[in-house]
Structure 1
Protein backbone atom coordinates (compact mmCIF):
# COMPACT_ATOMS: atom_id res chain seq x y z
CA UNK A 1 0.00 0.00 0.00
CA UNK A 2 1.22 3.47 -0.87
CA UNK A 3 1.01 5.97 1.97
CA UNK A 4 1.49 9.71 1.68
CA UNK A 5 2.22 11.96 4.66
CA UNK A 6 1.87 15.56 3.52
CA UNK A 7 3.42 18.36 5.56
CA UNK A 8 1.82 21.78 5.09
CA UNK A 9 1.47 25.07 6.96
CA UNK A 10 -1.98 25.50 5.36
CA UNK A 11 -3.46 21.97 5.53
CA UNK A 12 -6.98 23.22 4.77
CA UNK A 13 -5.94 23.55 1.12
CA UNK A 14 -5.61 19.77 0.92
CA UNK A 15 -8.99 18.80 2.31
CA UNK A 16 -11.13 18.71 -0.83
CA UNK A 17 -8.98 16.68 -3.28
CA UNK A 18 -9.10 13.57 -1.11
CA UNK A 19 -12.80 13.69 -0.24
CA UNK A 20 -14.19 13.04 -3.72
CA UNK A 21 -14.08 10.71 -6.72
CA UNK A 22 -11.27 8.24 -7.36
CA UNK A 23 -8.99 9.35 -4.53
CA UNK A 24 -11.75 9.06 -1.93
CA UNK A 25 -12.70 5.58 -3.17
CA UNK A 26 -9.07 4.47 -3.03
CA UNK A 27 -8.76 5.67 0.57
CA UNK A 28 -12.09 4.11 1.56
CA UNK A 29 -11.02 0.78 0.05
CA UNK A 30 -7.83 0.83 2.10
CA UNK A 31 -5.67 0.85 -1.04
CA UNK A 32 -3.84 4.00 0.01
CA UNK A 33 -3.46 6.31 2.97
CA UNK A 34 -3.11 10.08 2.84
CA UNK A 35 -2.41 11.96 6.06
CA UNK A 36 -1.99 15.73 6.18
CA UNK A 37 0.13 17.18 8.99
CA UNK A 38 -0.04 20.79 10.10
CA UNK A 39 3.50 22.14 10.25
CA UNK A 40 2.39 24.67 12.86
CA UNK A 41 1.86 21.80 15.32
CA UNK A 42 5.65 21.49 15.37
CA UNK A 43 6.42 25.18 15.88
CA UNK A 44 8.71 26.08 18.77
CA UNK A 45 6.81 29.10 20.11
CA UNK A 46 3.32 29.79 21.40
CA UNK A 47 2.42 31.79 18.30
CA UNK A 48 2.88 28.68 16.10
CA UNK A 49 5.31 30.58 13.87
CA UNK A 50 7.00 28.45 11.20
CA UNK A 51 8.55 31.17 9.03
CA UNK A 52 11.00 34.02 9.45
CA UNK A 53 12.86 36.66 7.46
CA UNK A 54 15.64 35.54 5.14
CA UNK A 55 19.24 36.08 6.22
CA UNK A 56 20.78 38.70 3.97
CA UNK A 57 17.51 40.53 3.48
CA UNK A 58 15.14 40.54 0.55
CA UNK A 59 11.40 40.21 0.10
CA UNK A 60 9.43 37.22 1.31
CA UNK A 61 9.50 34.86 4.29
CA UNK A 62 11.24 31.49 4.57
CA UNK A 63 9.97 28.30 6.20
CA UNK A 64 12.31 27.51 9.07
CA UNK A 65 14.25 24.27 9.36
CA UNK A 66 13.40 23.48 13.00
CA UNK A 67 9.64 22.83 12.73
CA UNK A 68 10.17 20.90 9.49
CA UNK A 69 12.87 18.75 11.08
CA UNK A 70 10.71 18.14 14.16
CA UNK A 71 7.79 17.02 11.99
CA UNK A 72 9.88 14.74 9.78
CA UNK A 73 11.61 13.14 12.75
CA UNK A 74 8.26 12.52 14.45
CA UNK A 75 6.96 10.77 11.34
CA UNK A 76 10.14 8.74 10.90
CA UNK A 77 9.85 7.52 14.49
CA UNK A 78 6.58 5.80 13.51
CA UNK A 79 7.61 4.17 10.20
CA UNK A 80 10.29 4.10 7.54
CA UNK A 81 9.96 6.12 4.34
CA UNK A 82 11.10 5.34 0.82
CA UNK A 83 11.28 9.02 -0.11
CA UNK A 84 11.02 12.42 1.53
CA UNK A 85 9.94 14.70 -1.31
CA UNK A 86 10.00 18.48 -1.45
CA UNK A 87 7.55 20.03 -3.92
CA UNK A 88 9.67 22.62 -5.70
CA UNK A 89 9.43 24.45 -9.06
CA UNK A 90 13.06 23.57 -9.75
CA UNK A 91 12.75 19.88 -8.90
CA UNK A 92 12.57 16.85 -11.19
CA UNK A 93 9.66 17.26 -13.58
CA UNK A 94 6.70 15.01 -12.82
CA UNK A 95 6.15 12.66 -15.74
CA UNK A 96 4.09 9.52 -16.22
CA UNK A 97 7.25 7.47 -15.95
CA UNK A 98 8.08 9.07 -12.61
CA UNK A 99 4.52 8.49 -11.39
CA UNK A 100 4.81 4.83 -12.38
CA UNK A 101 7.97 4.54 -10.31
CA UNK A 102 6.45 6.23 -7.27
CA UNK A 103 3.46 3.86 -7.45
CA UNK A 104 5.87 0.99 -6.73
CA UNK A 105 7.02 2.56 -3.47
CA UNK A 106 5.53 2.34 0.00
CA UNK A 107 5.63 5.29 2.43
CA UNK A 108 6.43 8.80 1.23
CA UNK A 109 6.54 12.24 2.83
CA UNK A 110 5.58 15.25 0.70
CA UNK A 111 6.78 18.59 2.04
CA UNK A 112 4.88 21.60 0.72
CA UNK A 113 6.86 24.80 0.37
CA UNK A 114 5.34 28.21 0.95
CA UNK A 115 6.33 31.87 0.83
CA UNK A 116 9.88 32.06 -0.64
CA UNK A 117 10.47 28.37 0.04
CA UNK A 118 12.27 26.43 2.76
CA UNK A 119 15.58 26.94 4.51
CA UNK A 120 18.20 25.49 2.15
CA UNK A 121 19.45 23.18 4.89
CA UNK A 122 16.15 21.29 4.62
CA UNK A 123 16.89 20.57 0.98
CA UNK A 124 20.50 19.64 1.68
CA UNK A 125 20.02 17.35 4.66
CA UNK A 126 16.38 16.25 5.12
CA UNK A 127 15.04 15.73 1.59
CA UNK A 128 15.73 12.72 -0.64
CA UNK A 129 14.00 14.00 -3.79
CA UNK A 130 12.50 17.17 -5.26
CA UNK A 131 9.59 17.15 -7.70
CA UNK A 132 8.10 19.91 -9.85
CA UNK A 133 4.74 19.81 -11.63
CA UNK A 134 5.83 22.38 -14.22
CA UNK A 135 7.91 25.41 -15.03
CA UNK A 136 5.78 27.88 -13.11
CA UNK A 137 5.36 29.06 -9.52
CA UNK A 138 2.36 28.36 -7.30
CA UNK A 139 1.47 30.04 -4.02
CA UNK A 140 2.47 26.87 -2.22
CA UNK A 141 3.24 23.21 -2.74
CA UNK A 142 -0.17 21.93 -1.65
CA UNK A 143 -1.79 21.78 -5.09
CA UNK A 144 1.38 20.23 -6.50
CA UNK A 145 1.36 17.58 -3.77
CA UNK A 146 -2.28 16.76 -4.57
CA UNK A 147 -1.32 16.35 -8.24
CA UNK A 148 1.45 13.92 -7.35
CA UNK A 149 -0.91 11.90 -5.15
CA UNK A 150 -3.57 11.79 -7.87
CA UNK A 151 -1.09 10.72 -10.56
CA UNK A 152 0.28 7.92 -8.36
CA UNK A 153 -2.82 6.64 -6.57
CA UNK A 154 -4.78 6.01 -9.78
CA UNK A 155 -2.02 3.56 -10.80
CA UNK A 156 -2.45 1.36 -7.73
CA UNK A 157 -4.12 -1.96 -8.65
CA UNK A 158 -7.79 -1.94 -7.66
CA UNK A 159 -8.20 1.83 -7.63
CA UNK A 160 -9.69 2.12 -11.11
CA UNK A 161 -12.69 -0.03 -11.97
CA UNK A 162 -10.92 -1.08 -15.17
CA UNK A 163 -7.22 -1.48 -14.46
CA UNK A 164 -6.37 -1.43 -18.17
CA UNK A 165 -7.62 2.16 -18.30
CA UNK A 166 -4.42 3.52 -16.76
CA UNK A 167 -2.31 1.56 -19.23
CA UNK A 168 -3.89 3.40 -22.16
CA UNK A 169 -3.54 6.89 -20.72
CA UNK A 170 -1.48 9.56 -22.40
CA UNK A 171 2.30 9.24 -21.88
CA UNK A 172 2.25 5.60 -20.70
CA UNK A 173 4.02 4.59 -23.93
CA UNK A 174 5.49 8.03 -24.62
CA UNK A 175 2.54 8.81 -26.88
CA UNK A 176 -0.49 11.05 -26.47
CA UNK A 177 -3.77 9.15 -26.15
CA UNK A 178 -5.88 8.84 -29.32
CA UNK A 179 -9.23 10.63 -29.76
CA UNK A 180 -12.24 9.02 -28.12
CA UNK A 181 -15.94 9.12 -29.02
CA UNK A 182 -19.24 8.16 -27.42
CA UNK A 183 -22.94 8.09 -28.42
CA UNK A 184 -24.57 9.22 -30.61
CA UNK A 185 -22.66 7.94 -33.64
CA UNK A 186 -23.96 10.85 -35.72
CA UNK A 187 -24.62 14.23 -34.09
CA UNK A 188 -25.69 17.03 -36.42
CA UNK A 189 -23.66 15.47 -39.21
CA UNK A 190 -20.55 15.06 -37.05
CA UNK A 191 -19.83 11.34 -37.30
CA UNK A 192 -17.79 8.85 -35.34
CA UNK A 193 -15.05 7.24 -37.51
CA UNK A 194 -16.38 4.09 -39.17
CA UNK A 195 -13.53 1.93 -37.87
CA UNK A 196 -14.72 2.41 -34.29
CA UNK A 197 -18.12 1.03 -35.24
CA UNK A 198 -16.71 -1.95 -37.11
CA UNK A 199 -16.36 -4.32 -34.18
CA UNK A 200 -12.94 -5.36 -35.50
CA UNK A 201 -10.65 -5.11 -32.46
CA UNK A 202 -7.44 -5.47 -34.46
CA UNK A 203 -8.37 -2.67 -36.85
CA UNK A 204 -9.47 -0.46 -33.95
CA UNK A 205 -6.16 -1.04 -32.10
CA UNK A 206 -4.19 -0.18 -35.24
CA UNK A 207 -6.27 2.97 -35.82
CA UNK A 208 -5.81 4.12 -32.23
CA UNK A 209 -2.06 3.59 -32.40
CA UNK A 210 -1.83 5.51 -35.67
CA UNK A 211 -3.86 8.35 -34.19
CA UNK A 212 -1.63 8.43 -31.10
CA UNK A 213 1.52 8.65 -33.20
CA UNK A 214 0.04 11.34 -35.42
CA UNK A 215 -1.19 13.43 -32.48
CA UNK A 216 2.17 13.13 -30.75
CA UNK A 217 3.99 14.26 -33.89
CA UNK A 218 1.71 17.28 -34.18
CA UNK A 219 1.38 18.30 -30.55
CA UNK A 220 4.31 16.86 -28.57
CA UNK A 221 7.07 15.86 -31.02
CA UNK A 222 9.58 16.03 -28.17
CA UNK A 223 8.13 12.78 -26.84
CA UNK A 224 9.08 10.80 -29.93
Structure 2
Protein backbone atom coordinates (compact mmCIF):
# COMPACT_ATOMS: atom_id res chain seq x y z
CA UNK A 1 0.00 0.00 0.00
CA UNK A 2 1.09 3.57 -0.56
CA UNK A 3 0.43 6.67 1.50
CA UNK A 4 1.38 10.08 0.14
CA UNK A 5 1.53 12.74 2.87
CA UNK A 6 1.05 16.42 2.09
CA UNK A 7 2.79 18.32 4.87
CA UNK A 8 4.65 21.57 5.44
CA UNK A 9 6.91 19.70 7.87
CA UNK A 10 8.17 16.50 6.20
CA UNK A 11 11.12 16.46 8.62
CA UNK A 12 8.74 15.40 11.38
CA UNK A 13 8.25 12.04 9.67
CA UNK A 14 11.88 10.99 9.14
CA UNK A 15 12.67 9.73 12.68
CA UNK A 16 9.26 8.09 12.94
CA UNK A 17 9.74 6.10 9.75
CA UNK A 18 13.15 4.86 10.92
CA UNK A 19 12.30 3.94 14.52
CA UNK A 20 10.47 1.27 16.46
CA UNK A 21 9.07 -2.06 15.38
CA UNK A 22 6.89 -0.49 12.67
CA UNK A 23 10.00 0.65 10.77
CA UNK A 24 9.94 -2.85 9.25
CA UNK A 25 6.75 -1.98 7.44
CA UNK A 26 8.37 1.06 5.83
CA UNK A 27 11.79 -0.48 5.23
CA UNK A 28 10.29 -3.54 3.55
CA UNK A 29 7.87 -1.51 1.48
CA UNK A 30 4.80 -3.03 3.10
CA UNK A 31 3.69 0.54 3.73
CA UNK A 32 5.20 2.94 1.20
CA UNK A 33 5.20 6.48 2.63
CA UNK A 34 6.09 9.44 0.41
CA UNK A 35 6.25 13.03 1.62
CA UNK A 36 5.20 16.09 -0.35
CA UNK A 37 5.67 19.71 0.72
CA UNK A 38 3.07 22.09 -0.80
CA UNK A 39 5.61 24.90 -0.47
CA UNK A 40 7.44 23.28 -3.39
CA UNK A 41 4.37 24.02 -5.50
CA UNK A 42 3.82 27.61 -4.35
CA UNK A 43 4.63 30.62 -6.51
CA UNK A 44 6.71 33.74 -5.87
CA UNK A 45 10.02 34.31 -4.15
CA UNK A 46 8.65 33.42 -0.73
CA UNK A 47 6.81 30.25 -1.79
CA UNK A 48 3.77 31.42 0.11
CA UNK A 49 1.21 28.78 1.05
CA UNK A 50 -1.07 30.78 3.35
CA UNK A 51 -2.92 34.09 3.45
CA UNK A 52 -5.29 36.09 5.63
CA UNK A 53 -8.90 34.89 5.81
CA UNK A 54 -11.60 36.81 4.00
CA UNK A 55 -13.91 38.46 6.49
CA UNK A 56 -11.10 39.05 8.96
CA UNK A 57 -10.21 37.13 12.04
CA UNK A 58 -7.07 35.71 13.61
CA UNK A 59 -4.54 33.43 11.98
CA UNK A 60 -3.90 32.41 8.40
CA UNK A 61 -5.52 29.97 6.00
CA UNK A 62 -3.76 27.51 3.68
CA UNK A 63 -4.30 28.54 0.07
CA UNK A 64 -5.97 26.28 -2.49
CA UNK A 65 -3.65 26.75 -5.54
CA UNK A 66 -0.42 25.33 -4.02
CA UNK A 67 -2.35 22.42 -2.53
CA UNK A 68 -4.02 21.65 -5.86
CA UNK A 69 -0.70 21.72 -7.72
CA UNK A 70 0.83 19.46 -5.08
CA UNK A 71 -2.08 17.04 -5.33
CA UNK A 72 -1.81 17.03 -9.14
CA UNK A 73 1.88 16.11 -8.86
CA UNK A 74 0.97 13.21 -6.56
CA UNK A 75 -1.73 11.99 -8.94
CA UNK A 76 0.77 12.12 -11.81
CA UNK A 77 3.42 10.29 -9.79
CA UNK A 78 0.93 7.58 -8.91
CA UNK A 79 -0.07 7.39 -12.59
CA UNK A 80 -3.72 7.38 -11.59
CA UNK A 81 -6.69 7.56 -13.87
CA UNK A 82 -9.70 9.58 -12.69
CA UNK A 83 -11.60 6.41 -11.73
CA UNK A 84 -8.71 4.84 -9.76
CA UNK A 85 -7.61 7.81 -7.69
CA UNK A 86 -6.54 7.16 -4.12
CA UNK A 87 -8.85 8.95 -1.67
CA UNK A 88 -7.67 12.25 -0.23
CA UNK A 89 -7.91 12.16 3.57
CA UNK A 90 -7.95 15.39 5.59
CA UNK A 91 -7.33 15.37 9.33
CA UNK A 92 -9.94 17.68 10.82
CA UNK A 93 -11.93 18.20 14.05
CA UNK A 94 -15.13 17.46 12.12
CA UNK A 95 -13.82 14.11 10.87
CA UNK A 96 -14.79 10.57 11.84
CA UNK A 97 -12.93 9.55 15.02
CA UNK A 98 -10.02 7.20 14.33
CA UNK A 99 -11.01 3.96 16.04
CA UNK A 100 -10.03 0.34 15.47
CA UNK A 101 -12.53 -0.17 12.68
CA UNK A 102 -11.19 2.86 10.81
CA UNK A 103 -7.61 1.62 11.21
CA UNK A 104 -8.55 -1.88 10.04
CA UNK A 105 -10.20 -0.38 6.95
CA UNK A 106 -7.10 1.54 5.91
CA UNK A 107 -4.81 -1.36 6.85
CA UNK A 108 -6.62 -3.49 4.27
CA UNK A 109 -6.70 -0.76 1.63
CA UNK A 110 -4.31 0.21 -1.16
CA UNK A 111 -3.50 3.45 0.66
CA UNK A 112 -4.46 7.10 0.38
CA UNK A 113 -3.23 10.67 0.15
CA UNK A 114 -3.06 12.21 3.63
CA UNK A 115 -3.44 15.97 3.95
CA UNK A 116 -2.02 17.62 7.06
CA UNK A 117 -3.53 21.06 7.56
CA UNK A 118 -1.88 23.92 9.43
CA UNK A 119 -2.75 27.41 10.67
CA UNK A 120 -6.48 28.15 11.01
CA UNK A 121 -7.37 25.63 8.35
CA UNK A 122 -7.59 25.08 4.60
CA UNK A 123 -9.51 27.07 2.01
CA UNK A 124 -12.93 25.40 2.00
CA UNK A 125 -13.04 25.44 -1.79
CA UNK A 126 -10.13 23.01 -1.94
CA UNK A 127 -11.84 20.76 0.60
CA UNK A 128 -15.09 20.81 -1.35
CA UNK A 129 -13.31 20.06 -4.63
CA UNK A 130 -10.87 17.37 -3.58
CA UNK A 131 -11.25 15.90 -0.07
CA UNK A 132 -12.94 12.50 0.07
CA UNK A 133 -12.63 11.58 3.76
CA UNK A 134 -12.11 13.54 6.97
CA UNK A 135 -10.69 11.86 10.08
CA UNK A 136 -10.18 13.11 13.64
CA UNK A 137 -7.77 11.99 16.34
CA UNK A 138 -10.12 13.21 19.09
CA UNK A 139 -12.09 16.12 20.46
CA UNK A 140 -9.16 18.52 20.75
CA UNK A 141 -7.20 20.73 18.38
CA UNK A 142 -3.59 20.18 17.31
CA UNK A 143 -1.25 22.63 15.61
CA UNK A 144 -1.41 20.53 12.47
CA UNK A 145 -2.45 17.20 11.04
CA UNK A 146 0.99 15.61 11.22
CA UNK A 147 0.50 13.94 14.61
CA UNK A 148 -2.81 12.47 13.45
CA UNK A 149 -1.18 11.23 10.24
CA UNK A 150 1.64 9.64 12.22
CA UNK A 151 -0.88 7.95 14.51
CA UNK A 152 -2.81 6.50 11.57
CA UNK A 153 0.36 5.32 9.81
CA UNK A 154 1.63 3.64 12.98
CA UNK A 155 -1.68 1.89 13.63
CA UNK A 156 -1.92 0.74 10.00
CA UNK A 157 1.71 -0.43 9.85
CA UNK A 158 1.49 -2.68 12.91
CA UNK A 159 -1.43 -4.57 11.36
CA UNK A 160 0.64 -5.59 8.34
CA UNK A 161 1.78 -9.25 8.30
CA UNK A 162 5.40 -9.66 9.35
CA UNK A 163 5.73 -6.32 11.12
CA UNK A 164 5.27 -7.42 14.73
CA UNK A 165 7.52 -10.06 16.24
CA UNK A 166 4.49 -12.15 17.16
CA UNK A 167 1.83 -12.33 14.46
CA UNK A 168 -0.85 -12.75 17.14
CA UNK A 169 0.10 -9.63 19.10
CA UNK A 170 -2.39 -7.26 17.50
CA UNK A 171 -5.17 -9.82 17.92
CA UNK A 172 -4.92 -9.22 21.67
CA UNK A 173 -4.95 -5.43 21.44
CA UNK A 174 -7.63 -3.34 23.05
CA UNK A 175 -10.68 -2.76 20.82
CA UNK A 176 -9.84 -5.71 18.56
CA UNK A 177 -12.88 -7.75 17.44
CA UNK A 178 -10.92 -10.87 18.44
CA UNK A 179 -11.45 -9.69 22.03
CA UNK A 180 -15.05 -8.66 21.33
CA UNK A 181 -14.00 -5.01 21.36
CA UNK A 182 -12.96 -5.08 25.03
CA UNK A 183 -9.93 -3.41 26.58
CA UNK A 184 -6.83 -5.52 27.13
CA UNK A 185 -6.00 -7.15 30.46
CA UNK A 186 -3.07 -6.20 32.76
CA UNK A 187 0.34 -7.71 31.97
CA UNK A 188 3.23 -8.74 34.25
CA UNK A 189 6.84 -9.84 33.85
CA UNK A 190 9.89 -10.60 36.02
CA UNK A 191 10.56 -10.28 38.90
CA UNK A 192 7.68 -12.18 40.49
CA UNK A 193 7.76 -9.77 43.44
CA UNK A 194 8.50 -6.07 43.12
CA UNK A 195 8.24 -3.52 45.93
CA UNK A 196 5.99 -5.89 47.86
CA UNK A 197 3.67 -6.42 44.91
CA UNK A 198 3.34 -9.93 43.50
CA UNK A 199 2.21 -11.37 40.20
CA UNK A 200 -1.37 -12.75 40.34
CA UNK A 201 -1.14 -16.46 41.19
CA UNK A 202 -3.35 -17.43 38.25
CA UNK A 203 -0.59 -16.37 35.85
CA UNK A 204 1.91 -18.60 37.64
CA UNK A 205 -0.35 -21.67 37.76
CA UNK A 206 0.63 -23.09 34.39
CA UNK A 207 -3.05 -23.98 33.85
CA UNK A 208 -3.84 -22.45 30.47
CA UNK A 209 -7.61 -22.57 30.83
CA UNK A 210 -7.45 -20.84 34.21
CA UNK A 211 -5.05 -18.23 32.83
CA UNK A 212 -7.33 -17.47 29.88
CA UNK A 213 -10.37 -17.21 32.17
CA UNK A 214 -8.46 -14.83 34.47
CA UNK A 215 -7.46 -12.69 31.50
CA UNK A 216 -11.02 -12.60 30.19
CA UNK A 217 -12.34 -11.60 33.60
CA UNK A 218 -9.70 -8.88 33.85
CA UNK A 219 -10.62 -7.57 30.42
CA UNK A 220 -14.23 -7.41 31.47
CA UNK A 221 -13.38 -5.69 34.76
CA UNK A 222 -11.08 -3.13 33.12
CA UNK A 223 -13.59 -2.37 30.39
CA UNK A 224 -16.51 -2.09 32.81
CA UNK A 225 -14.54 0.36 34.94
CA UNK A 226 -13.08 2.57 32.22
CA UNK A 227 -15.30 2.08 29.15
CA UNK A 228 -18.73 0.75 30.13
CA UNK A 229 -19.97 1.73 26.68
CA UNK A 230 -17.83 -1.06 25.23
CA UNK A 231 -19.47 -3.57 27.59
CA UNK A 232 -22.88 -2.41 26.39
CA UNK A 233 -21.78 -2.77 22.76
CA UNK A 234 -20.40 -6.28 23.35
CA UNK A 235 -23.60 -7.28 25.13
CA UNK A 236 -25.77 -5.89 22.35
CA UNK A 237 -23.73 -7.82 19.80
CA UNK A 238 -24.21 -11.05 21.74
CA UNK A 239 -20.51 -11.42 22.53
CA UNK A 240 -20.87 -11.95 26.29
CA UNK A 241 -21.23 -15.55 27.43
CA UNK A 242 -22.92 -16.58 30.71
CA UNK A 243 -19.49 -16.79 32.41
CA UNK A 244 -18.81 -13.22 31.28
CA UNK A 245 -22.09 -12.00 32.71
CA UNK A 246 -21.36 -13.81 35.96
CA UNK A 247 -17.95 -12.10 36.17
CA UNK A 248 -19.56 -8.71 35.60
CA UNK A 249 -22.22 -9.46 38.21
CA UNK A 250 -19.49 -10.09 40.78
CA UNK A 251 -18.15 -6.60 40.09
CA UNK A 252 -21.47 -4.93 40.87
- Bin the TM-score by the shorter chain: over 0.9
Separation in 1, partners of 2:227, 2:22: 28
Matched, 1:107 2:111: yes
Matched, 1:31 2:30: yes
Larger radius of gyration: 2
The answer to whether residue 21 in structure 2 is matched with residue 22 in structure 1 is: yes
Q: Aligned runs of 1:75-90 on 2, under 5 Å?
A: 75-79=74-78, 80=80, 81-90=85-94
Deviation at 1:201, TM superposition (A): 1.8
Structure 2 unaligned residues grouped into runs of 5+:
232-252
Aligned with residue 123 of structure 1, among 124, 127, 142: 127
Q: Which residue of 1 aligns with 2:156?
A: 152
Give the superposition deviation at 1:14: 2.2
- Higher relative strand content: 1
Who is 2:59 aligned against?
A: 60
Higher share in helix: 2
- Listed one character per residue, the Cα deviations across residues 90-131 of structure 1 (whole Å, up to 9, x for unaligned) are 211000111011100113111000000101112212111011
SS at match of 1:77: helix
Question: Could you list the per-position Cα deviations for residues 40-87 of structure 1 after superposition, in whole angstroms to 9, with x for gaps in the alignment?
Answer: 011122311011111111111000111111111111123244321001
Q: Which has the higher contact order (CA 8 A, sep 6+)?
A: 1
Give the Cα–Cα distance (whole angstroms) in 2 for the partners of residues 107 and 50 of structure 1. Answer: 26
Is residue 169–residue 177 contact of structure 1 (8 Å, CA) maintained in 2? yes
CA positional deviation for 1:136? 0.5
For residues 123-174 of structure 1, the C-alpha deviation after alignment (integer angstroms, 9 at most, x for no partner) is 2121110111011111111111101101111101111111110110111132
Count residues in correspondence.
223
* Offset of residue 17 of structure 1: 1.4
